[in-house]
């Protein structure tokens, strides 16, 4: 496997992708190219985010950006940039985005892949200079090549993902992804303009002592979740909640912990979206040895029915996820 083809930390993402390609079940290179396109989109969004604090100043001057677009909110900008990168890359025939009701046809009908994504997650943190992220999920299309993509390409189910990952725009910018052969993390080196392999073969610790949940909604959570939060307090666990799924997930992946977004009385399916928030992170957590549940079964086994459907999610260290379900 690619993990066995040892590559040292410090190699570039391009080198890593090239090296791993030989281990892909279908080594035609298209998935490799698609991963490079996503990395490029991540770099572009990273650039936009880094100057976000200046946008209002520029906007005040009535300026437009280089493409002649009016200055827009960052999540919209990220959506546009991502779609453009995937269109130009050519491997993707259609995209599902949190920002758009319907799927977006790229015009690349020969493309073998579809991508579901949340281009900029953690919207409440965008304007206050706190970590945000991009989440993506990749499927091989099931509709015939050279024709249009359809809903069937996106509703294949979480186990059919061929790759998934996220980009975290934090104190460093990181790309973390899996093609079903373990999880690897790459840190963006600004001076080189490259993602560098920094976190090789990430393994989710089986136990943890961090819990991440919006406790303000405690009284509307199901009894088992309230019980579990109670257990965390008895055990003196640390509460850590950024309100950016990617950031909270990433911390818990590295340190051991659980992220919870339960159902509430008002939102029986919780808040997070199955196709481009829960599935991709569930893919990553399982690939790293952790677990993702909706309180009943594995997130990846949920049968999808619509583009923007929601699901409760309990995700992270395997023993913690098992404990919440039993609580």
Question: 122 contacts which partner out of ligand AHM, Mg ion, none, CB within 5 to 8 A by kind?
Answer: ligand AHM
C-alpha 185/C-alpha 163 separation (Å) is 14
Applying CB under 5 A, among 121, 153, 248, 294 the residue interacting with Mg ion is 121
Nearer to ligand AHM, 16 or 283 (CB): 283
Applying CB under 5 A, among 30, 37, 91, 118 the residue interacting with Mg ion is 118
The least CB distance from residue 19 to Mg ion, in Å, is 32
Crossing angle (nearest 10°) for helices 318-326 and 223-234:
130
C-alpha 293/C-alpha 322 separation (Å) is 9
Q: Which of 308, 300, 315, 310 is nearest to 156 (CA)?
A: 300
Q: Which two tokens stand for residue 34?
A: 């698609």
* DSSP SS3 for 112: coil
The least CB distance from residue 242 to ligand AHM, in Å, is 7
The least CB distance from residue 26 to ligand AHM, in Å, is 32
Question: 214 contacts which partner out of ligand AHM, Mg ion, none, CB within 5 to 8 A by kind?
Answer: ligand AHM
Residue 277 marked ligand-binding? yes
Q: Which stretch binds Mg ion (CB under 5 A): 56-64, 119-127, 179-187, 220-228?
A: 119-127
Taking the chain, what is the end-to-end CA distance rounded to the nearest angstrom?
38
Q: Which of 262, 243, 266 is nearest to 314 (CA)?
A: 262
Nearer to Mg ion, 46 or 198 (CB): 46
Residue 53 marked ligand-binding? no
Nearer to ligand AHM, 37 or 118 (CB): 118
Residue 113 marked ligand-binding? no
Residue 279 marked ligand-binding? no
Nearer to Mg ion, 16 or 261 (CB): 261
Asked if residue 270 lies in contact with residue 311, where contact means CB atoms within 8 angstroms, the answer is yes
Residue 281 marked ligand-binding? no
C-alpha 165/C-alpha 181 separation (Å) is 13
Residues contributing to the site for ligand AHM (CB under 6 A): 98, 118, 121-124, 214, 243-245, 248, 271
C-alpha 153/C-alpha 304 separation (Å) is 11
Question: 243 contacts which partner out of ligand AHM, Mg ion, none, CB within 5 to 8 A by kind?
Answer: ligand AHM
Residue 120 marked ligand-binding? yes
The least CB distance from residue 225 to ligand AHM, in Å, is 14
Q: What letters, b where the CB count within 10 A reaches 16 and e where it falls short, cover 108-132? A: bbebbbbbbbbbbbbeebbeeeebb
**Residue entry with tokens 């991709």:** 280
Residue 271 marked ligand-binding? yes
Annotated binding site for Mg(2+): 98, 118, 120-121, 277
């Amino acid at each position: 496997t690619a993990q066995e083809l040892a590559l040292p930390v410090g190699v570039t993402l391009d080198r890593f992708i090239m090296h791993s390609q030989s281990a892909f079940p279908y080594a035609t290179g298209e998935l490799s190219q698609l991963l490079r396109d996503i990395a490029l989109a991540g770099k572009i969004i990273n650039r936009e985010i880094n100057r976000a604090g200046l946008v209002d100043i520029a906007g005040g001057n009535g300026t437009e950006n280089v493409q002649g677009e009016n200055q827009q909110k960052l999540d919209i900008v990220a959506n546009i940039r991502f779609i453009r990168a995937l269109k130009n890359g050519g491997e993707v025939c259609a995209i599902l985005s949190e920002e758009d009701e319907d799927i977006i046809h790229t015009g690349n009908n020969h493309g073998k892949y579809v991508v579901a994504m949340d281009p900029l997650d953690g919207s409440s943190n965008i304007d206050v200079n706190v970590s945000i992220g991009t989440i993506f999920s990749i499927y091989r299309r099931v509709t015939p090549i050279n024709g249009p993509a359809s809903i069937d390409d996106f509703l294949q189910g979480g186990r059919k993902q061929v790759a998934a990952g996220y980009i975290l725009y934090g104190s460093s910018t990181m790309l973390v992804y899996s093609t079903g052969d373990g999880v690897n993390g790459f840190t963006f080196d600004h001076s080189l303009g490259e993602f560098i392999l920094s976190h090789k073969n990430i393994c989710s610790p089986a136990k943890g002592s961090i819990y991440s949940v919006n406790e303000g909604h405690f009284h509307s959570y199901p009894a088992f979740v309230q019980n579990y939060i109670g257990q965390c307090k008895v055990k003196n666990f640390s509460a850590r909640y950024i309100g950016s799924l990617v950031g909270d997930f990433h911390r818990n992946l590295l340190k051991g912990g659980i992220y919870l977004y339960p159902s509430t009385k008002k939102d029986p399916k919780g808040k997070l979206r199955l196709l481009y928030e829960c599935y991709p992170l569930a893919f990553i957590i399982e690939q790293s040895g952790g677990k993702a549940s909706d309180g009943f079964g594995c997130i990846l086994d949920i049968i999808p029915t619509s583009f923007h459907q929601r699901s409760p999610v309990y995700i992270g260290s395997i023993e913690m996820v098992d404990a919440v379900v039993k609580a």
